[in-house]
Structure 1
Protein backbone atom coordinates (compact mmCIF):
# COMPACT_ATOMS: atom_id res chain seq x y z
CA UNK A 1 0.00 0.00 0.00
CA UNK A 2 2.96 2.29 0.68
CA UNK A 3 4.05 2.30 -2.97
CA UNK A 4 0.50 2.95 -4.20
CA UNK A 5 0.21 5.96 -1.92
CA UNK A 6 3.64 7.19 -2.98
CA UNK A 7 2.51 7.22 -6.61
CA UNK A 8 -0.67 9.09 -5.65
CA UNK A 9 1.31 11.65 -3.65
CA UNK A 10 3.27 12.39 -6.82
CA UNK A 11 -0.04 12.90 -8.66
CA UNK A 12 1.29 14.82 -11.64
CA UNK A 13 5.05 14.61 -11.14
CA UNK A 14 6.57 13.62 -14.46
CA UNK A 15 10.18 14.27 -13.45
CA UNK A 16 12.42 11.98 -11.48
CA UNK A 17 12.49 8.22 -11.33
CA UNK A 18 10.23 5.43 -10.03
CA UNK A 19 11.34 2.01 -8.85
CA UNK A 20 9.78 -1.15 -10.24
CA UNK A 21 8.07 -1.69 -6.88
CA UNK A 22 6.36 1.69 -7.05
CA UNK A 23 5.19 1.07 -10.62
CA UNK A 24 3.97 -2.52 -10.20
CA UNK A 25 2.34 -2.03 -6.80
CA UNK A 26 0.53 1.02 -8.16
CA UNK A 27 -0.92 -1.04 -10.99
CA UNK A 28 -1.63 -4.03 -8.73
CA UNK A 29 -3.71 -1.89 -6.38
CA UNK A 30 -5.43 -0.21 -9.34
CA UNK A 31 -6.37 -3.64 -10.67
CA UNK A 32 -7.75 -4.80 -7.32
CA UNK A 33 -9.65 -1.57 -6.71
CA UNK A 34 -11.10 -1.73 -10.25
CA UNK A 35 -12.38 -5.26 -9.63
CA UNK A 36 -13.95 -4.16 -6.35
CA UNK A 37 -15.56 -1.12 -7.98
CA UNK A 38 -16.82 -3.32 -10.83
CA UNK A 39 -18.60 -5.47 -8.26
CA UNK A 40 -20.01 -2.38 -6.56
CA UNK A 41 -21.22 -1.09 -9.94
CA UNK A 42 -22.87 -4.44 -10.69
CA UNK A 43 -24.62 -4.57 -7.30
CA UNK A 44 -25.80 -0.96 -7.42
CA UNK A 45 -26.97 -1.20 -11.03
CA UNK A 46 -24.63 1.49 -12.33
CA UNK A 47 -22.74 -0.94 -14.59
CA UNK A 48 -23.19 -0.37 -18.31
CA UNK A 49 -22.71 -3.82 -19.86
CA UNK A 50 -22.29 -2.43 -23.38
CA UNK A 51 -19.51 -0.05 -22.36
CA UNK A 52 -18.05 -2.52 -19.87
CA UNK A 53 -17.68 0.11 -17.18
CA UNK A 54 -19.77 1.47 -14.37
CA UNK A 55 -20.14 4.86 -12.75
CA UNK A 56 -17.80 4.24 -9.82
CA UNK A 57 -15.21 2.48 -11.99
CA UNK A 58 -15.23 5.31 -14.51
CA UNK A 59 -14.80 7.98 -11.83
CA UNK A 60 -11.93 6.04 -10.28
CA UNK A 61 -10.34 5.46 -13.70
CA UNK A 62 -10.39 9.16 -14.45
CA UNK A 63 -8.98 9.96 -11.00
CA UNK A 64 -5.94 7.70 -11.46
CA UNK A 65 -5.33 8.40 -15.15
CA UNK A 66 -2.81 11.20 -14.57
CA UNK A 67 -0.91 9.40 -11.76
CA UNK A 68 -0.78 6.27 -13.92
CA UNK A 69 0.81 8.16 -16.78
CA UNK A 70 3.15 9.98 -14.38
CA UNK A 71 4.41 6.80 -12.69
CA UNK A 72 4.93 5.21 -16.12
CA UNK A 73 6.99 8.18 -17.28
CA UNK A 74 9.05 8.11 -14.08
CA UNK A 75 9.56 4.35 -14.54
CA UNK A 76 10.81 4.96 -18.08
CA UNK A 77 13.17 7.58 -16.65
CA UNK A 78 14.50 4.98 -14.21
CA UNK A 79 15.47 2.76 -17.14
CA UNK A 80 17.23 5.68 -18.83
CA UNK A 81 14.52 6.38 -21.41
CA UNK A 82 12.62 9.54 -22.15
CA UNK A 83 9.00 9.74 -21.07
CA UNK A 84 8.09 10.18 -24.73
CA UNK A 85 8.51 6.41 -25.12
CA UNK A 86 5.09 6.22 -23.45
CA UNK A 87 3.58 7.17 -26.82
CA UNK A 88 4.34 3.62 -27.98
CA UNK A 89 1.08 2.70 -26.27
CA UNK A 90 -0.73 4.06 -29.33
CA UNK A 91 0.81 1.37 -31.57
CA UNK A 92 -1.62 -1.57 -31.33
CA UNK A 93 -0.30 -4.68 -29.59
CA UNK A 94 3.41 -4.11 -30.35
CA UNK A 95 3.60 -0.79 -28.50
CA UNK A 96 2.06 -2.23 -25.34
CA UNK A 97 4.38 -5.22 -25.43
CA UNK A 98 7.46 -3.03 -25.85
CA UNK A 99 6.37 -0.86 -22.91
CA UNK A 100 5.77 -3.97 -20.82
CA UNK A 101 9.32 -5.12 -21.48
CA UNK A 102 10.65 -1.66 -20.58
CA UNK A 103 8.71 -1.75 -17.30
CA UNK A 104 10.28 -5.12 -16.44
CA UNK A 105 13.88 -3.91 -16.87
CA UNK A 106 15.79 -3.00 -13.75
CA UNK A 107 16.49 0.69 -13.39
CA UNK A 108 19.93 2.15 -13.87
CA UNK A 109 21.80 1.78 -10.57
CA UNK A 110 23.62 5.09 -10.97
CA UNK A 111 22.51 8.66 -11.46
CA UNK A 112 21.23 9.33 -14.96
CA UNK A 113 19.85 12.37 -16.79
CA UNK A 114 16.58 12.08 -14.82
CA UNK A 115 18.00 12.01 -11.30
CA UNK A 116 19.57 9.76 -8.73
CA UNK A 117 18.61 6.14 -8.40
CA UNK A 118 15.56 5.63 -6.18
CA UNK A 119 17.26 2.50 -4.83
CA UNK A 120 20.05 4.68 -3.44
CA UNK A 121 17.67 5.53 -0.59
CA UNK A 122 17.87 2.33 1.44
CA UNK A 123 15.96 3.67 4.46
CA UNK A 124 13.04 1.35 3.70
CA UNK A 125 15.20 -1.76 3.56
CA UNK A 126 13.87 -2.95 0.17
Structure 2
Protein backbone atom coordinates (compact mmCIF):
# COMPACT_ATOMS: atom_id res chain seq x y z
CA UNK A 1 0.00 0.00 0.00
CA UNK A 2 1.37 3.37 -0.96
CA UNK A 3 1.67 6.12 1.62
CA UNK A 4 -0.84 8.44 -0.10
CA UNK A 5 -3.36 5.59 -0.31
CA UNK A 6 -2.85 4.87 3.38
CA UNK A 7 -3.36 8.50 4.35
CA UNK A 8 -6.09 9.67 1.97
CA UNK A 9 -8.15 6.71 0.73
CA UNK A 10 -11.39 5.79 2.49
CA UNK A 11 -11.67 2.40 0.78
CA UNK A 12 -10.51 -1.00 1.93
CA UNK A 13 -9.05 -2.19 5.20
CA UNK A 14 -5.87 -1.57 7.16
CA UNK A 15 -4.45 -3.45 10.11
CA UNK A 16 -3.33 -2.06 13.44
CA UNK A 17 0.27 -1.60 12.26
CA UNK A 18 -0.70 0.63 9.35
CA UNK A 19 -3.12 2.53 11.56
CA UNK A 20 -0.40 3.32 14.13
CA UNK A 21 2.01 4.24 11.33
CA UNK A 22 -0.54 6.77 10.06
CA UNK A 23 -1.10 8.12 13.58
CA UNK A 24 2.68 8.53 14.00
CA UNK A 25 2.82 10.48 10.73
CA UNK A 26 -0.02 12.75 11.89
CA UNK A 27 1.69 13.39 15.23
CA UNK A 28 5.03 14.10 13.51
CA UNK A 29 3.37 16.62 11.18
CA UNK A 30 1.70 18.31 14.18
CA UNK A 31 5.01 18.57 16.05
CA UNK A 32 6.80 19.96 12.99
CA UNK A 33 4.07 22.54 12.37
CA UNK A 34 4.07 23.68 15.99
CA UNK A 35 7.87 23.87 16.08
CA UNK A 36 7.99 25.91 12.90
CA UNK A 37 5.26 28.19 14.23
CA UNK A 38 7.05 28.72 17.53
CA UNK A 39 10.31 29.57 15.75
CA UNK A 40 8.59 32.11 13.52
CA UNK A 41 6.14 33.45 16.10
CA UNK A 42 5.84 37.22 16.27
CA UNK A 43 7.13 38.82 19.42
CA UNK A 44 4.44 41.46 19.28
CA UNK A 45 1.17 41.82 21.06
CA UNK A 46 -1.11 39.04 22.20
CA UNK A 47 -3.65 39.51 19.35
CA UNK A 48 -0.92 38.82 16.77
CA UNK A 49 0.14 35.66 18.59
CA UNK A 50 -3.46 34.48 19.00
CA UNK A 51 -4.15 35.13 15.32
CA UNK A 52 -1.15 33.03 14.31
CA UNK A 53 -2.09 30.24 16.73
CA UNK A 54 -5.68 30.12 15.48
CA UNK A 55 -4.51 30.18 11.86
CA UNK A 56 -2.11 27.30 12.50
CA UNK A 57 -4.81 25.31 14.30
CA UNK A 58 -7.27 25.77 11.43
CA UNK A 59 -4.59 24.82 8.89
CA UNK A 60 -3.79 21.67 10.87
CA UNK A 61 -7.49 20.78 11.03
CA UNK A 62 -7.91 21.19 7.27
CA UNK A 63 -4.76 19.19 6.58
CA UNK A 64 -5.04 16.39 9.12
CA UNK A 65 -8.74 15.72 9.77
CA UNK A 66 -9.22 14.06 6.36
CA UNK A 67 -6.15 11.89 7.02
CA UNK A 68 -7.41 10.92 10.48
CA UNK A 69 -10.86 10.16 9.04
CA UNK A 70 -9.41 8.00 6.26
CA UNK A 71 -7.26 6.02 8.70
CA UNK A 72 -10.14 5.54 11.12
CA UNK A 73 -12.60 4.55 8.40
CA UNK A 74 -10.29 1.88 6.98
CA UNK A 75 -9.54 0.60 10.47
CA UNK A 76 -13.28 0.35 11.20
CA UNK A 77 -13.71 -1.48 7.89
CA UNK A 78 -11.13 -3.98 9.13
CA UNK A 79 -13.26 -4.45 12.24
CA UNK A 80 -16.32 -5.07 10.00
CA UNK A 81 -17.97 -1.74 10.85
CA UNK A 82 -19.07 1.26 8.81
CA UNK A 83 -16.92 4.37 8.79
CA UNK A 84 -19.74 6.43 10.31
CA UNK A 85 -18.83 4.94 13.70
CA UNK A 86 -15.91 7.35 13.65
CA UNK A 87 -18.33 10.14 14.58
CA UNK A 88 -18.96 8.43 17.92
CA UNK A 89 -15.24 8.20 18.66
CA UNK A 90 -14.04 11.76 18.00
CA UNK A 91 -16.51 14.56 17.12
CA UNK A 92 -19.22 13.44 19.55
CA UNK A 93 -16.90 13.23 22.61
CA UNK A 94 -15.36 16.61 21.76
CA UNK A 95 -18.80 18.23 21.47
CA UNK A 96 -20.01 16.57 24.68
CA UNK A 97 -16.92 17.72 26.57
CA UNK A 98 -17.23 21.25 25.18
CA UNK A 99 -20.92 21.40 26.15
CA UNK A 100 -20.24 19.96 29.62
CA UNK A 101 -17.38 22.34 30.38
CA UNK A 102 -18.92 25.50 28.86
CA UNK A 103 -21.30 25.90 31.77
CA UNK A 104 -20.52 27.74 34.96
CA UNK A 105 -20.76 24.44 36.81
CA UNK A 106 -19.34 21.68 34.59
CA UNK A 107 -21.47 18.61 34.00
CA UNK A 108 -19.06 15.99 35.28
CA UNK A 109 -21.02 12.87 34.17
CA UNK A 110 -21.07 14.22 30.61
CA UNK A 111 -17.32 14.83 30.78
CA UNK A 112 -16.79 11.26 31.99
CA UNK A 113 -18.98 9.94 29.16
CA UNK A 114 -16.90 11.96 26.70
CA UNK A 115 -13.69 10.41 28.04
CA UNK A 116 -15.19 6.92 27.88
CA UNK A 117 -16.17 7.41 24.22
CA UNK A 118 -12.66 8.58 23.37
CA UNK A 119 -11.15 5.60 25.19
CA UNK A 120 -13.52 3.24 23.35
CA UNK A 121 -12.36 4.76 20.05
CA UNK A 122 -8.68 4.30 20.90
CA UNK A 123 -9.26 0.67 21.90
CA UNK A 124 -11.50 -0.10 18.91
CA UNK A 125 -9.20 1.47 16.33
CA UNK A 126 -5.78 0.84 17.78
CA UNK A 127 -5.85 -2.38 19.75
CA UNK A 128 -8.63 -4.76 18.73
CA UNK A 129 -7.84 -7.12 15.85
CA UNK A 130 -9.75 -6.99 12.58
CA UNK A 131 -12.24 -9.58 11.42
CA UNK A 132 -10.49 -12.71 10.16
CA UNK A 133 -10.68 -13.40 6.46
CA UNK A 134 -12.52 -11.33 3.90
CA UNK A 135 -15.40 -9.07 4.92
CA UNK A 136 -17.71 -6.66 3.09
CA UNK A 137 -14.89 -4.10 2.83
CA UNK A 138 -12.26 -6.31 1.24
CA UNK A 139 -9.67 -8.97 1.95
CA UNK A 140 -7.90 -9.27 5.27
CA UNK A 141 -4.83 -6.98 5.24
CA UNK A 142 -1.55 -8.89 5.37
CA UNK A 143 0.50 -8.64 8.53
CA UNK A 144 3.93 -8.82 6.93
CA UNK A 145 6.15 -6.24 5.32
CA UNK A 146 6.37 -8.09 2.01
CA UNK A 147 3.51 -8.29 -0.45
CA UNK A 148 2.66 -11.17 -2.77
CA UNK A 149 4.91 -9.69 -5.46
CA UNK A 150 7.89 -9.67 -3.08
CA UNK A 151 7.97 -5.87 -2.82
CA UNK A 152 8.05 -4.17 0.54
CA UNK A 153 4.71 -2.74 1.63
CA UNK A 154 3.41 -1.00 4.70
CA UNK A 155 2.48 -3.22 7.67
CA UNK A 156 -1.14 -4.29 7.54
CA UNK A 157 -1.41 -3.27 3.90
Instruction: Give the alignment's TM-score, normalised by structure 1.
Output: 0.77
Which is bigger in relative contact order (C-alpha 8 A, separation at least 6)?
2
Deviation at 1:86, TM superposition (A): 0.8
Say whether the 8 Å CA contact 1:34–1:57 is kept in structure 2: no
Counterpart in the other structure of 1:105 = 128
Instruction: Give the alignment's TM-score, normalised by structure 2.
Output: 0.64
Deviation at 1:115, TM superposition (A): 0.9
Can you give the 5+ residue segments of structure 1 that lack an aligned partner in the other structure?
Answer: none
Alpha-carbon distance in structure 1 between the residues aligned to 2:22 and 2:52:
22
Question: Given the alignment of the two structures, is residue 22 of structure 1 paired with residue 18 of structure 2, yes or no?
Answer: yes
Alpha-carbon distance in structure 1 between the residues aligned to 2:54 and 2:33:
8
Q: Deviations over 1:46-66 (max 9, x none)?
A: 6x7658946455424311211
Alpha-carbon distance in structure 1 between the residues aligned to 2:73 and 2:116:
18
Match of 2:132, SS state, is coil
Task: Label 1:19 to 1:38 Cα distance change in 2 as closer, same or farther (>3 A).
Answer: same
Counterpart in the other structure of 2:36 = 40
Q: What is the number of equivalent residue pairs in this alignment?
A: 122
Say whether the 8 Å CA contact 2:15–2:75 is kept in structure 1: yes
Max radius of gyration: which structure?
A: 2
Counterpart in the other structure of 1:86 = 86
Aligned Cα RMSD in Å?
3.0
Can you give the 5+ residue segments of structure 2 that lack an aligned partner in the other structure?
Answer: 43-47, 94-113
Say whether the 8 Å CA contact 1:38–1:57 is kept in structure 2: no
Match of 1:64, SS state, is helix
